[in-house]
Amino acid sequence: MKTIKTGDTTWENRHETFVENIKDLYELGNEDNLDALDGYNDTTTGLQALIADAIATQTPLRALGSGWSWTQIATVNGGVMMDTKPLNTVFDISAASVSAAYTGSPQYLLFAQSGNGIWELGEHLRARNLSLKTSGASNGQTIAGAIGTGAHGSAFDFGAVQDFVVGLHLIVGPNRHIWLERASAPVVSAAFIQNLQTELVQDDDLFNAVLVSFGSFGIVHGVMVETEDLFLLETYMDRMPYDDSLKTIMQTLDFSNANLPCGTERPYHFSVLLNPYDMANGAYVTTMYKRPYQPNYTPPVDNAAGIGPGDDAACFMGTLTEVVPALIPTLVNKVLGASLTLFNKQFGTLGEIFNNTTLRGKLLSAAVGMPIAYSTQVADLMLSINNTIGPFTGIFSFRFVKGTSATMGFTRFGQTCVMELDAPYSDTTYNYYTQVWQQLENAQIPFTFHWGKVNEVTPTRIANMYGPAATDWIAARNKLLDADTIKIFTNPILQQWGLDTVLP
């Protein structure tokens, strides 16, 4: 494995919202003179050697993907960060690599090294007439980073990104690496395990714990994902009254009486954006419908502001700047007027619709998950408190996603509504977030924080949000890692969250 020690002593995330002091940044890469499998296995050995060195020198260690998170998940104060982005080998899976007990078809399986970007996997799959099942609105994350933080997408009949993962190659110490999959859903054959020179572990509870684990279970080296046939999305954005009809859909995801572009057809994606300074003209409602792929379509086009049909508010809210409160409504309306253009019947693949890897301005983004039954109560609360604790220099966005089986996935409710709050970087925005979380707690609304966005997670809040699941997650970490390895993969944010416990 190539290891370039850059000598960098600071690191800044992609959104430029914090700078971390580090001991060094290592840029990792597969060896060019080896074939794909030998190169992959050589990198496994190299990663184990880095873990051994970190234990010997008592140096914290952390894998880094694209640096997309607003929280300091990937950082190690005074430790070594490993840039895994160049680790992007992809393997198509043959029938010989698949267990006879696997219930799916091998043609839909893809094994990807952890540094692969979501957009890279989309391009690779398209060449095979396949597609990922979902993605976030932004697809600049690596596959390991997206699942490690629970990136949620907006496919409310499927789930979040981690929910199409069926196997993980995990390096859990200097002398051990494992292939982890669910015992209830076996995937790989003995030949696959032999090719990776690894150890098979089939355990539902361990697998669900590792899925969303913030890089604290060692190093995720490879990810097996289930894909599907390439498809098109037929997309629309309209203004609709924020009335009982729309509220009923938000609370139930029942489209049997919907007045949407395709009538009562159940969409693939449904989201609602509320501008508190222009409610008279209604909500922005985006719907997307799944269609069989056909080659003779016109690909989607960005509007004059460079915003595409799958871009979320984070794509343009960073262009806002902090102004005196009296000017906030005017500024927000001006930015939305320039950025959002209603569109009708645009077609594209998943990768074409959700294709954003561009950041515009210095932005803060926070998100909370809640049961859909609370979605309009929260929306109405946000509109109300904007007059008391606001004005908020932003908008309120609501997306919907099926609940996850990941132990610490924040989309943990059977049907989860995700409220996103995107605004310019400022102390005022941070203070507003703090007050919103308190208002939700005062109203006794169950919610969880998006792990990769701005949040105020505490041990007490984790206990309230996850209950016994947090204890199960800690137990799983202690089961897979020994005390020495736990220590080097524990960083300040894990300690702050109270998830760093070493069990006797």
The pLDDT tens digits of the residues spanning 71-84 come to 888 888 899 999 99
CA 180, 184, 185, 187 dihedral sign is: positive
State the greatest distance between any 2 C-alpha atoms of the chain, in Å, as a whole number: 67
Q: How confident is the model at residue 334 (pLDDT cuts 50, 70, 90)?
A: confident
In angstroms, the CA 404 to CA 412 distance is: 5
In angstroms, the CA 307 to CA 286 distance is: 14
Q: What is the pLDDT of residue 323?
A: 65
Choose between 375 and 15: higher pLDDT. 375
CA 491, 492, 496, 500 dihedral sign is: positive
Dihedrals phi, psi of 77, to nearest 5 degrees: -60, 110
Mean pLDDT of the chain: 93
CB–CB of 238/295 below 8 Å? no
Q: What is the pLDDT of residue 305?
A: 67
Q: What is the pLDDT of residue 141?
A: 86
Has residue 168 got a pLDDT over 60?
Answer: yes
**Taking residues 153-165, what's their average pLDDT?**
91
**Taking residues 137-145, what's their average pLDDT?**
83
Task: Classify 32 as helix, strand or coil.
Answer: coil
Choose between 323 and 104: higher pLDDT. 104
Q: How confident is the model at residue 48 (pLDDT cuts 50, 70, 90)?
A: very high
Q: What is the pLDDT of residue 321?
A: 65
CB–CB of 108/130 below 8 Å? yes
Q: What is the pLDDT of residue 504?
A: 86
What beta strand segments (E) does 275-337 contain?
283-292
Q: How confident is the model at residue 322 (pLDDT cuts 50, 70, 90)?
A: low
Has residue 66 got a pLDDT over 90?
Answer: no
Query: Mean pLDDT: which of 182-186, 298-302, 337-341 is highest?
Result: 182-186
Record the pTM: 0.94
Domains and CATH numbers, the chain: 2-229+471-497 (3.30.465.10), 231-455 (3.30.70.2520)
Has residue 306 got a pLDDT over 90?
Answer: no
Q: How confident is the model at residue 347 (pLDDT cuts 50, 70, 90)?
A: very high
Q: What is the pLDDT of residue 314?
A: 65
**Taking residues 253-264, what's their average pLDDT?**
96
Has residue 468 got a pLDDT over 90?
Answer: yes
Residue 30's alpha-carbon distances to 38, 142, 172, 406, in angstroms, are: 10, 16, 20, 30
- How wide is the angle at C-alpha 160 spanned by C-alphas 377 and 307, nearest 5°? 80
Q: What is the pLDDT of residue 166?
A: 98
Q: What is the pLDDT of residue 357?
A: 56
Q: What is the pLDDT of residue 120?
A: 92
pLDDT tens string 185-228: 999 999 999 999 999 999 999 999 999 999 999 999 999 999 99
Q: How confident is the model at residue 340 (pLDDT cuts 50, 70, 90)?
A: confident
In this structure, of 36-40, 98-102, 135-139, 276-280, the range with the lowest mean pLDDT score is 135-139
Six-digit token string for 358? 């561009």
Residue 127's alpha-carbon distances to 9, 36, 120, 122, in angstroms, are: 40, 19, 11, 9
Has residue 356 got a pLDDT over 90?
Answer: no
